[in-house]
Amino acid sequence: MKNKKLLVGSLVVSTLVLSGCSAISSQPTSPEPVTPVASPAPAGFETYYNQAVEFQACGENIFCADVEVPMDWDDQSSKPITIATAYRKADRKESEGFVLLNPGGPGASGYDWVIESSDFLGTKKLRENFNILGFDPRGVGKSSAVKCLNDKGYDKFLYDVTGFELGSDEDVAAARAAVKDFGAKCLANTGDLLGHVDTVSAAKDMDLIRAVLGEQKLNFLGYSYGSFLGTTYANLFPEHVGRFVLDGAIDPTVSDEEQTLFQIQAFEKALRAFLENCEQYRDCPFTGFVEGDLQTIKQFLFDLESNPLPTKDGRELTVWAAVTGLIMPLYSESYWQYLSTAFDVALTDGQGDVFLLLADQYNDRGDDGKYSTNLIAANYAISCLDARSSTNIFSMQRQNKALVDASPTLGRYWQFGALRCENWPFDVKEAPVSYGAEGAPTILVIGTTGDPATPYSQAQALAGRILKDAFLLTYHGEGHTIYGQQVLCVDNLVDKFFLTGELPAQDPNCGAS
């Protein structure tokens, strides 16, 4: 009963290929001198805002430092926790300042992205002119982090089936017990921090980072969930908003149930788009008749519920692993070829290896069985503090029907998603009353018409009616987020905005035929 709610940005997907490929700078550099900016701090938190942070070299042209923040922004006496930051220094001697980056999730590591793929951040022009700083939000990665299960525990939690008919009373009871146990282990292994990893607290951390960097205004690039983090910041600190770019935008006003429904509709649409184009791949096993091919996939998944496929390393491809492995390449059209191969190997040869590999990459599981990040734990912890769905049985039944109606192929595996937060050890945090960011300068919102994870309609809503001052940039194409992927119409507009704040008179509708 695992309901996938990860809203990872395309940067995270790209890391699978680009990690470790950064070019080496020919000349050593020193960190940018930073002095905390003399601006008012929240009462009682002046010491945090005035802390002197010393960045140390942690790679070629890369500098790292931990920043202390209060665990509880409502309690001046709460103990400090740390936020791990890393930035790639601008290629130009005189930079235009810092751009903070969040690649998505919630739970994805901006710190790792800077360390491992520094020469693929944004565009060449962005890297030339700005220091690009990635950070791990509270609860994530190398910051004070959420800890839940060991590696074998994650294997069981993410990949195992209950042994009961999917959706039966016994299956739901087993799933409910598993999620409750997961939350209890998160609390036992994390402690009080687990109750303070919400997005509002993370946005307040961003303002503290702005201050210790010596920046009067914050420039920000947020992908996917990062757009929600950016929108939250802009609402809390409109006077400190500089150039904000929100790519793969999320509508923060929709309910958790609506968010799930919109997402599954978009994934079903992306799956159709894949099937319509599958014939271009040499190993495509489908007929080209999309309705029939969708039925084939539906039957394939249904069969896996009781008959997992073998793999060469002895593990089995369960239905949950297959659904995750199917979703992963739908995030980017450039990965559709791997989905074609996965289906070919599974449908033709009866082997689950490629689907399992894709699922492992999505979950950050290495070949050695170790999970390289705490993405899953952080995703649950942050999401369950930000919002949750009703677990009233009648509400879940209505939601289940809506999901299956919206996505006949995948909706079956999104059912009962409300259970993931039902017994979370902490209540939902109070959300901002409004997300209008009144008083902030124009915010650039980017939406991709074929985005499966953050549907285009959400970018339209954010730019059209939620933010008081926003500009919508539309990309007509497939995939989750687009800036920095060599679409010149998008890249040039965003780069100009970061450098000058200028925007065209109207949406250029990049990629439209």
Contact 351, 160 (CB under 8 A): no
What CA–CA distance (Å, rounded) separates 252 from 245?
16
| Dihedral over Cα of 504, 507, 510, 513: its sign | negative
Contact 112, 84 (CB under 8 A): no
In one-letter notation, the amino acid at residue 351 is Q
In sequence order, what are the beta bridge partners of 8? 104
- The DSSP 8-state label assigned to residue 21 in this structure reads -
Share in percent of the chain as helix, strand, coil (round to 5): 45, 15, 40
Architecture label for domain 7-142+198-254+432-500: 3-Layer(aba) Sandwich (3.40)
In sequence order, what are the beta bridge partners of 265? none
Q: pTM score, two decimals?
A: 0.93
HSE value, Cβ hemisphere, 13 Å, CA-based, for 251: 23
Output the pLDDT for position 38.
66
Q: How far is CA 212 from CA 47, 239, 287, 295, 508, in A?
A: 11, 17, 58, 55, 37
- Name the residue ranges covered by the structural domains of the chain: 7-142+198-254+432-500, 261-362
Contact 305, 319 (CB under 8 A): yes
Nearest Cα neighbor of 362 from 338, 343, 384, 395 is 338
Nearest Cα neighbor of 61 from 133, 140, 137 is 133
The string of DSSP codes covering 181-227 is HHHHHHHHHHGGGGGG--HHHHHHHHHHHHHHTT-SSEEEEEETHHH
What CA–CA distance (Å, rounded) separates 463 from 471?
6
| Dihedral over Cα of 490, 492, 493, 494: its sign | positive
Output the pLDDT for position 513.
78
Q: How far is CA 73 from CA 41, 111, 260, in A?
A: 12, 23, 30
Q: Which two tokens stand for residue 76?
A: 């001046």
Q: Which two tokens stand for residue 342?
A: 């996965």
Q: How far is CA 380 from CA 135, 179, 332, 510, in A?
A: 19, 10, 23, 35
HSE value, Cβ hemisphere, 13 Å, CA-based, for 403: 25
Q: Checking phi first, is residue 486 left (phi over 0); if not, alpha (psi -120 to 50) or beta?
A: left
Q: Could you read off the pLDDT tens digit of each residue along the chain, which spans 513 residues? A: 444 455 444 333 333 322 222 333 334 478 887 887 767 899 999 999 999 999 999 999 999 999 999 999 999 999 999 999 999 999 998 999 999 999 999 999 999 999 999 999 999 999 999 999 999 999 999 999 999 999 999 999 999 999 999 999 999 999 999 999 999 999 999 999 999 999 999 999 999 999 999 999 999 999 999 999 999 999 999 999 999 999 999 999 999 999 999 999 999 999 999 999 999 999 999 999 999 999 999 999 999 999 999 999 999 999 999 999 999 999 999 999 999 999 999 999 999 999 999 999 999 999 999 999 999 999 999 999 999 999 999 999 999 999 999 999 999 999 999 999 999 999 999 999 999 999 999 999 999 999 999 999 999 999 999 999 999 999 999 999 999 999 999 999 999 999 999 999 999 999 997
What CA–CA distance (Å, rounded) separates 322 from 358?
9
Contact 491, 123 (CB under 8 A): yes
